[in-house]
Structure formats: C-alpha cells, structure tokens
A and B are shown apart, each in its own frame.
Chain A
Amino acid sequence: MFFEFPFEIPYMLTLLLVVPLVGAIATLAMGGEKQKYAKYVAGVFSAITMILSSILLFTPDLSVYNESYTWIETAGVKMSYILTVDGLSILMVFLTGVLVFLSTVFSARESDRPHYFFALMLAMEVGLMGVYLAGDYFLFYIMWEVTLIPMYFMISWFGGPRRHYAAIKFFIYTHVASLVMLIGIFALVFGAAAGGTADFSFEAVLAGSAAFSSTFQVLVFGLLFFGFAVKMPIVPFHTWLPDAHTEAPTAGSVLLAGVMLKMGSYGIIRVCLEVLPEGAQSWQAAMIFIGILAMIYGAYACIAQKDLKKMVAYSSISHMGMVMIAMGCLSDVGIQFAVFQMFAHGLISAVLFMVCGAAGHNIGTREIPLLGGIAGKLPVFAAFMMFGFMASLGLPGLVGFWAEFGIIFSFYEYAISIDMIWLIALCLISLLLTAGYYLWAMQRSLFGKLTEKIDLSHIHDLSRPEVIGLGAICALVALYGLWPDLALSFIEDYASSLAFTLGVV
C-alpha cells in the first residue's frame, strides 16, 4: 500500500449507515421554499459517505472496524448488530459511496420534488451499505429489504410513462425472491444451531456449517441461490429488470445496475459459496449453464432493442451472466474476477445509464432509429457515449477488459478441466455479439447523416454537473483499467481462501 490512512475512525462502519440516514432525513426536511437547497444537503452527506468509504481503501487492517453488539436475545434465537468489512465487500462499499455521490451530482438539475428524490437516493444508500457491511443474517435481510422501498418509490414517482407497472413488478418479483431467500436463511441458521440457541451471525452459521449433510447443502443452496439470482438477474426471471430500468430515472438506474444487482452476486459468494461448499459443487454445472444462458441471451436481446436504455439494461443481464460464469468456476481466479467484474460493471453501467439519461433529457428521445449523426451536434455527449460503449465491450486499457479477460481465463481452465474446451467458443460468440450491438448502435445514433426525424432546435449538450458526474466515473474506469491491481489486490486473499474452502486450490 503506497499510502496508509493514519487514523482509526471510531464507529466507522456505523457511520457509513448513519451519515446517509441523517442525510436522507435532512434532505426530506428541505421541502417547500427550500427545495433548491435539497441537492446541496444531499451532496454534502453523500460526499461524506463517499470519503468515509474511500478511507477504507487505505486502511491496512480492516478488522479494526468490526463492530458487534447483541441486539435481540430470546429463548430460541439471537440476533446481533454486526458490521464487518473484508476483501469481498470493500469494493462494493466503495462503489456504493462513489455512485451515490456522483449520481447526486449528475442529477443536480432534478427540479421535480428534489427533496424527495435525493432523500430516496440516500435512503437507498443506507440499505445498500447495510447489505454489504452486515455480519448477521437478520441485519442482512433487513437491509436487503430496506433497499426495496426507496427504489419502489424512485420508480413510481420519478419514472417514465409505464412506471406504475414497472415499480410494482420490481417490488413483487424481488420481494418474493427475498422470501425464498429468507426460508433458506432460516434453514441455514437453524441447521447450524443444532441444539443451542439459533445465532443469526455469519460467524456462528459458518462455524456450524461443518455439520451440514450433503443433501441439506444442495437443497438450501437451491433456495438461497434462487433468492439471490433473481436479483442479479438470471434469465427466466429477468423480465423485471428491463422494465424497471426503462422506467426508472437516471440516478435510479445507475444505483440499480451499479450496486443493487451486485447484491445478488455478493449474496451468492458470501452465503452460498462460503457456507455451502458442497452445495456449490453440485450446482456448479447449473451455475455455468445459467451464466452462459444469461450472457448470450442478454447480448442477443440487445441487438433487437430500439431504446438505448433498454439495450443497456439487457447488456447488464449479459454482463452479470459473466459474473455468474466466473463464480461457477469455483476457482480462486474465477472468484477474484467475478468480484472484479462486479466492480467494473458497476462503474461502466453507471456511465452507460448516465449517457442514456442524458439522451432522454438533452435530446428528448432514446430511440436509436430516431437518432443519427448526433455526434456533430453534441460532441461531448458523443464522446462519453463512445467511451462508455468501448469500456463495456472490453476495450483493452479500460476496466472492463481486465474483468472479461480474467473471466474467460478462469472459464478456460474450467472448460479444460471438464474436457469441454469448445465451451469457450460460447464466450467468444457473446463477446462478438457485444461488440456488434454496441458498434451498430453507435453507428446508427452518433454517425452518418444528421437525423431529420426529431426537432433539433431544443437539443443541447451536457450540462456542467452532468459532465462532472460522468467525467469522474470515466476517470475511475480508466484508472482501474490502467492499474487493475488497485482493486484486485483487495480481492486476492479473500478469493484464494474461499477457493480453499471450496476445495479447488
């Protein structure tokens, strides 16, 4: 580490929850006359959270920040307030901090009830941080559900024309999935307790997991995997995602794709793989299959999309499929790059959704066939769009390249180990499709003859807050692209110890 933060901040992880919570309440209070100050209040609180979360990156020993208090203790069960951060969660926490702040900056022009808008974003940040920091299943589940309600209102208050349908679909879909997950959590906790008080902490469940039988592991893995994977999402259960994205406001989409989808893959690694290694072995082929299906189907569906934002939404499904494949390899490289891809896709999808949002705002339409030759009119917009698309299709030098490179590498190892090397071709097909739809969309919308299908008199290039928000994320995309070890170094130890648990060193 080239720089170490010299102080130890007391209650650091609690602060990561409390600061956005206080911020949400303070922003909410900025109603009426004071509406125009809401964004500054939200900006300050999300900036503090971002700074706190970045300090974690420069802390050599993260375990000093662990917090643990008993919360509820009855005859049968014990729940605790445990916050912890490790190699798996640190990047997600950082990503949450960064994206909430930058999408606040990006949305600075929001004029429709801004105090609600920014308060919802901060409320969502509380839940997201909580999911990544929780060290207790009870707290984890609470935080998991806490993210739902602000997102529901985000879509149904600030969304597009079909927002009611999309919001309720999002809510019911993901809530049902979380209930299945809750059943899985019950099984884990009560199974691990075997005789004593059912302790909901991660640690106690991990300690008790040694006694799980193979059948139990396979069954419970199925329940939990379903709960988490719907959030990622996986292909037969993905239809809520394009709807939610298409209707959600830009900042909502950024958080949804950037951090909320990662809750699913985070849960799979944290719970399914860590606690149920035998279940993971049995489900390995299924995970690979589901991943390949999502990757190719998502890419294929992108080609058919006319709405830029819907295309990006489907590309998220495709890229999360890659995460699934990498996790399914159950190797240290696989897990390391699964997490790296989560981080990379978080940054890149933020760029993409901001670009789509800017298209809607500044041009008035996101329909690809209506656009054309926009680059000449809006050079800054076009530059960001090209940057985002290139990063997403895996241009070397940007962060997406390393993620895809590592995933294909680990998948190659896996394909050799099961003597089915032709599987690798499927990955390549998906990469080709990805390059294809991005380039085709770019060509149709940015270049060629200037469109005559829309009224061009009102279109304008990006405003300053939009440039700052986008620019900062693009800088991170480039930074981690040129120096991936900045992120990979955090995951390395975690991935190899998890691979050891999984029995594939």
Chain B
Amino acid sequence: MINSSIVTTIFGDFAPMAPMILMIIGALIMPAIFFATKSRAAVTGATLAVIAISLIFNILMMADGYQGGYADLFTYDAFAGVMILLFQIVVLLTAMVSLSSSETTRLHYGAFNSLLLAAATGMMFVATASDLITIFLGVELASITSYVLVAMKRSDPRAAEAALKYVIIGGLSTALTLYGLSMLYGVAGTTNIADIAVALSTQDFSWAFGIAMITMIAGFGFKIAAVPFHMWAPDVYEGAATPVSMFLGTGSKKVGFIALFKIFLVIFVAANASASFATAEMQYVFAIIAAITMTVGNIVAIAQNNIKRMLAYSSIAQAGYILIVMAVMTDYALASGMFHMFTHVFMKGGAFLVVGALITVGIGEKISDYQGLAKRAPFIAFAMMVFLFSLAGIPPLAGFTSKLFLFSSAIYDGGVMTQWIWLAFIAILNSAISLYYYTRVVRAMYVDKGASKEKIKIPAAFTIAIAFCLVFVVILGVYPQLIMDFCADAASALLG
C-alpha cells in the first residue's frame, strides 16, 4: 500500500519539507534543461513532472494525516497540507498554460519556469512555517521572484511600470512587516509563534505590541491588496503577462492571508489571550477593513473597461470577503475562508486563463473585444460565463457555496448570532453589486454582435486548464465536502 512512509523513507528528517525540496530542485535544474534542450516543451514537461511528484507526495501526506516538524521552524500539519495543495494547483495551472501563452513564450523560458517554481516554493514555505523568521523568508522568496516574473515581459512598457510599482510597494510592505515582526519579538522574547502565544498570554497590552500589530496589518495588507493598501494590484495585474497575473491573483495573495492566519489567529484565538490584549478591537479593525475592501473593490470594478483590471478589482473584493475570517475569528470561519480561497483559485484563475487564452489568439483585453465571443469560441465563452457567475455567487456554482459558508460564519457561531451580522449584510449587498459588472462581460459575449464571426482556435494547454477549472467550479459547488472537510481539519489543526 502506498502511503506517506515513502516520503519519510526518502527524506528522513526532512520529510515535513518534502514537497518544497522537490520544487526547489526543480527550480535549480530548469535553466540547465532549457540550456541543454532549447525546447520549451521539454522545460514545461519537466516543470509539470516536478510539480506532479510534489503534488503526489503532498496528497499522500495529507491522506495519511501526516504530522511532523523540522527544528521548530517548519511544521507540516493538516493546515500546511491543504494550503500547499492550493499553491501546487495554482503553479500547475500557470506552468501548463505558459507553454502556449503568447505572452510567456517570448520570455527567457528556463528562467521563467525556474522563478515560477521558486515563487511557489516560497508560498509553500509560508504554509508550513511555524516561526516568524521562516514566515518572513517564505514571503520574501515568493515576493522577490514575483517582481522578476512581472518585469520579465520586457516587450511591454506597462510591464516595466507594473514591476517598478510592485517592487517599491512590495519593498515598503516588507519593511513594515519586518518592523512589526521585530517589535513582536521584542515583546514576546521569541520568534516561535506557539511560544509567542504562550508568552503573550501572561502579559498586558503594551504599546510596542500595538505598533507591531498595526505595522503587520499594513505590511500584510499590501500583500493581500486590502483597501487602502490595494493601489498596486490593478496596475500589476494589467501589466504582467496574463499567466503571471493569474499566479499572483490566485496564489500570491493567499500568502498574505496565511501569514495573517498564522500570526493573528494563533495569537488571539489559539492562545486564548486575555481580554486586555485587545482582541475585540483587533476584530473591529479587520471587520472595517473587510467592509471597506469589498465595497471599494466592487464599486471601482464597475467602472473598468479592461478585463484584467476588472478582475483585479474583483480580486480585491474577494480579499474583502476572506477578511471576514479575521473579524469573526472562529474555527468555522477559518475553514470557510480556506474553502473560499480554494474556490477562488478555480473561478478567478479560470477567468484569468480565459483572458490569457484570448490574448494568445489575438483578442484584446477590453470588454468590447469580447463581443460576439459565444459564436466564435463557444466553449471558452461558456466557461467564462460560469466563472463569472460563480464569482458573483450564483448557485449552484462553487462561489455561491463558499460564500454561503463564509457569510454564514459571520452570522452564526455554534448556536448564537454573532455581532458580525452587519458584515454579512454588507457582503451580501456587495455580491449584488458585483453581478452588474460580471453580467456586462456575459452580455458582451452572448448578446452583443461582434465585428468578426471567424471561429477561434484555442491552444490545447489553455483548453485543458480551463476545463479543469470549470469541472472544479461545478463540483465544489454541488459537492463542497471534497475540500471543505480538509479545510475543517486544517482549521482545527491551526487553532487547536
């Protein structure tokens, strides 16, 4: 019987880091493979193989309920397993479509794949990190490689602008985060998160701690593009190659969320810090950020004519929905939030893939360019419609189910109405607003007459990736327990 003992046999003490080690090896050899073969297909094949092996190992470990740590720096548990799975899916989709996307094939292909794997490794490190230092290192590995991924599209001046913005804002956010982390270390006397929680549970509130919290919220707020730290996101998503936009929008954002979950939820919930630690105030801060983020994201999205910008703003709105978790701070909310992160990968990722596929075949990024698409590319148009309706929360698609879980966690907590009903109200009203701009795209594709009637041939890699997302958007809508059960385990693993 195949089980996780294979992993422990091969990797010994390093078993908790097995999925990452494989990816790092992949990142190191990709340029060499490209140099040796000069074949993009070979590099993509090798990249996909590396990801697939890493994915199989991770699934084996998840299925067995494997738990293990390495030197108090990394801990593989149910939470890490689920989040690693998410990043593996994201990078798998990105690597697959990069082979056919006209925007990525002109890049230095070996380096591109190498950076992609390195960025994914950084993200996965954050998922397993159990120490402030390793969280920071993981975030930085993911960020720095992402800057380069954005900047690589040298042919487009928008990419240069986007990359510059991304570097400056990213540097600022890193500085803020690091400042907060060091203050936290100063207060608690240790960098291990579990120990910090223990140390803090016997202390009173101090200003140093308050400053640490505020700077970390700002620092990670940039990463998840929460309002008012969101300005960079639309420019970066618009300027980057679309597969990279997809990678950032669905993967990179989640890094910030995981860091927030790991630091804030563990300190405030798992350690059961005393009331003097301002838990209620912190919840309000997050609730207000969540409400503003979703509202601004949705309202600004209405005005966009560029689909990538529209999707960027809708990503901001989705980040607002996930921030509900940070306000509610319960097991169930965390599980729902993680589930929404998963459905977001498939629906938002799918939408970005459609945009990328269409750019590859020479269709623009304006909503008006999509007119008459249903006639020209029926499958792609149908998939796009499903993704957008799922993002808007139309049942029975995945977005509806995950929003239902998430919003209901704000209403109800084990028998009592929570104080966050107003947040759920705002979120539901936001869903109504969002339908308007998603419908514009659907209308352009299905109702408006296009200038051309010529059929479009979509590259196979895109079709496969889009079909994959489509299947999961439907399956997770009608059978959410496929992932939700893992998320529930993960939430209880993190919060104890």
Residues of A within 8 A of B (CB): 71-77, 138, 141-142, 145-146, 148-149, 153, 156-157, 164, 167-168, 171-172, 175-176, 179, 182-183, 186-187, 190-191, 193-196, 198
- Contact present for A179 and B432 (CB under 8 Å): yes
- Contact present for A190 and B331 (CB under 8 Å): no
Given contacts A76-B409, A190-B411, contact A179 B428 (CB under 8 A): yes
| 30 A-B pairs with C-beta separation under 8 A | A71-B478, A73-B481, A74-B332, A74-B405, A74-B484, A75-B335, A76-B405, A76-B412, A76-B414, A142-B396, A145-B400, A146-B395, A146-B396, A148-B394, A149-B394, A157-B447, A167-B447, A171-B435, A175-B432, A175-B435, A179-B431, A179-B432, A182-B428, A183-B424, A190-B408, A190-B412, A190-B417, A195-B414, A196-B415, A198-B408
Which B residues between 377 and 411 are near A, CB-CB below 8 angstroms?
389, 394-396, 400-401, 404-405, 407-409, 411
Among A75, A153, A175, find the residue whose CB has the most chain B CB atoms closer than 10 A: A75
- Contact present for B480 and A72 (CB under 8 Å): yes
Residues of B within 8 A of A (CB): 331-332, 335, 389, 394-396, 400-401, 404-405, 407-409, 411-415, 417, 424-425, 428-429, 431-432, 435-436, 439, 443, 446-447, 478-481, 484-485, 488
Which B residue's beta carbon lies closest to that of A190? B412
Distance between Cα atoms of A193 and B407 in the complex (Å): 16
Residues in B whose Cβ lies below 8 Å from that of A72: 401, 479-481, 484
Given contacts A73-B481, A190-B411, A193-B415, contact A179 B395 (CB under 8 A): no
Residues in B whose Cβ lies below 8 Å from that of A186: 407-408, 411-412, 424
- Contact present for A141 and B443 (CB under 8 Å): no
- Contact present for B432 and A193 (CB under 8 Å): no
Q: Per a CB cutoff under 8 Å, which of A76, A171, A187 touches B439? A: A171
- Contact present for A168 and B335 (CB under 8 Å): no
Distance between Cα atoms of A342 and B219 in the complex (Å): 58
Which A residue's beta carbon lies closest to that of B378? A31
Residues in B whose Cβ lies below 8 Å from that of A146: 395-396
- Contact present for A183 and B412 (CB under 8 Å): no
Among A76, A153, A183, find the residue whose CB has the most chain B CB atoms closer than 10 A: A76
Residues in B whose Cβ lies below 8 Å from that of A167: 447
- Contact present for A168 and B396 (CB under 8 Å): no
Residues in B whose Cβ lies below 8 Å from that of A145: 394-395, 400
Given contacts A72-B480, A164-B443, contact A183 B405 (CB under 8 A): no
Distance between Cα atoms of A172 and B425 in the complex (Å): 18
User: 7 closest A-B pairs (Cβ-Cβ)?
Assistant: A195-B415, A142-B395, A190-B412, A156-B447, A76-B332, A142-B396, A176-B432
- Contact present for A75 and B428 (CB under 8 Å): no
A212 CB → nearest B CB, Å: 13
- Contact present for A75 and B332 (CB under 8 Å): yes
Residues in B whose Cβ lies below 8 Å from that of A172: 432, 435-436, 439
Distance between Cα atoms of A142 and B401 in the complex (Å): 10
- Contact present for A156 and B443 (CB under 8 Å): yes
Given contacts A72-B480, A72-B481, A175-B432, contact A77 B389 (CB under 8 A): no
Q: Per a CB cutoff under 8 Å, which of A75, A175, A191 touches B488? A: A75
A306 CB → nearest B CB, Å: 27
Distance between Cα atoms of A116 and B431 in the complex (Å): 29
- Contact present for A156 and B446 (CB under 8 Å): yes
B335 CB → nearest A CB, Å: 7
B181 CB → nearest A CB, Å: 32
Residues in A whose Cβ lies below 8 Å from that of B396: 142, 146
Distance between Cα atoms of A153 and B412 in the complex (Å): 36
Distance between Cα atoms of A145 and B395 in the complex (Å): 7
Distance between Cα atoms of A138 and B408 in the complex (Å): 12
Distance between Cα atoms of A75 and B412 in the complex (Å): 12
Distance between Cα atoms of A175 and B439 in the complex (Å): 12
Distance between Cα atoms of A142 and B477 in the complex (Å): 11
Among B332, B395, B435, find the residue whose CB has the most chain A CB atoms closer than 10 A: B395
Residues in B whose Cβ lies below 8 Å from that of A76: 332, 405, 408-409, 412-414
- Contact present for B446 and A183 (CB under 8 Å): no
Residues in A whose Cβ lies below 8 Å from that of B400: 142, 145
Which B residue's beta carbon lies closest to that of A186? B411
B397 CB → nearest A CB, Å: 10
Distance between Cα atoms of A449 and B373 in the complex (Å): 50
Distance between Cα atoms of A27 and B413 in the complex (Å): 46
B11 CB → nearest A CB, Å: 33
Q: Beyond the given A76-B408, A76-B409, please list 8 additional residue pairs across the A-B interface where CB-CB is below 8 A.
A: A72-B484, A75-B335, A76-B405, A76-B414, A142-B400, A183-B424, A193-B412, A194-B415
Residues in A whose Cβ lies below 8 Å from that of B335: 74-75
A95 CB → nearest B CB, Å: 24
Q: Per a CB cutoff under 8 Å, which of B332, B389, B415 touches A149? A: B389
Q: Per a CB cutoff under 8 Å, which of A141, A190, A198 touches B395? A: A141
Residues in B whose Cβ lies below 8 Å from that of A191: 417
- Contact present for A74 and B488 (CB under 8 Å): yes
Residues in A whose Cβ lies below 8 Å from that of B413: 76
A166 CB → nearest B CB, Å: 12
- Contact present for B428 and A183 (CB under 8 Å): yes
Distance between Cα atoms of A190 and B414 in the complex (Å): 10
Residues in B whose Cβ lies below 8 Å from that of A179: 428-429, 431-432
- Contact present for A168 and B443 (CB under 8 Å): yes
Residues in A whose Cβ lies below 8 Å from that of B481: 72-74
A18 CB → nearest B CB, Å: 14
Residues in A whose Cβ lies below 8 Å from that of B447: 156-157, 164, 167
Residues in B whose Cβ lies below 8 Å from that of A175: 432, 435
B231 CB → nearest A CB, Å: 29
Among A157, A167, A179, A198, find the residue whose CB has the most chain B CB atoms closer than 10 A: A179
Distance between Cα atoms of A171 and B385 in the complex (Å): 15
B436 CB → nearest A CB, Å: 6
A86 CB → nearest B CB, Å: 24
Among B408, B409, B413, B485, find the residue whose CB has the most chain A CB atoms closer than 10 A: B408
Distance between Cα atoms of A47 and B413 in the complex (Å): 47
Distance between Cα atoms of A290 and B167 in the complex (Å): 59
Residues in A whose Cβ lies below 8 Å from that of B394: 145, 148-149
Residues in A whose Cβ lies below 8 Å from that of B407: 186
Residues in A whose Cβ lies below 8 Å from that of B404: 138
Which B residue's beta carbon lies closest to that of A74? B484
Which A residue's beta carbon lies closest to that of B478? A71
Residues in B whose Cβ lies below 8 Å from that of A77: 405, 408
Which A residue's beta carbon lies closest to that of B481? A72
Distance between Cα atoms of A398 and B336 in the complex (Å): 54
B329 CB → nearest A CB, Å: 15
Q: Per a CB cutoff under 8 Å, which of A73, A142, A148, A198 touches B412? A: A198
Distance between Cα atoms of A186 and B413 in the complex (Å): 13
Distance between Cα atoms of A167 and B408 in the complex (Å): 30
B419 CB → nearest A CB, Å: 14
Among B332, B447, B485, find the residue whose CB has the most chain A CB atoms closer than 10 A: B447
Distance between Cα atoms of A99 and B210 in the complex (Å): 65
Residues in A whose Cβ lies below 8 Å from that of B488: 74-75
Distance between Cα atoms of A156 and B480 in the complex (Å): 32
Residues in A whose Cβ lies below 8 Å from that of B332: 74-76
Distance between Cα atoms of A179 and B400 in the complex (Å): 12
Distance between Cα atoms of A187 and B429 in the complex (Å): 15
B393 CB → nearest A CB, Å: 9
Residues in B whose Cβ lies below 8 Å from that of A156: 443, 446-447
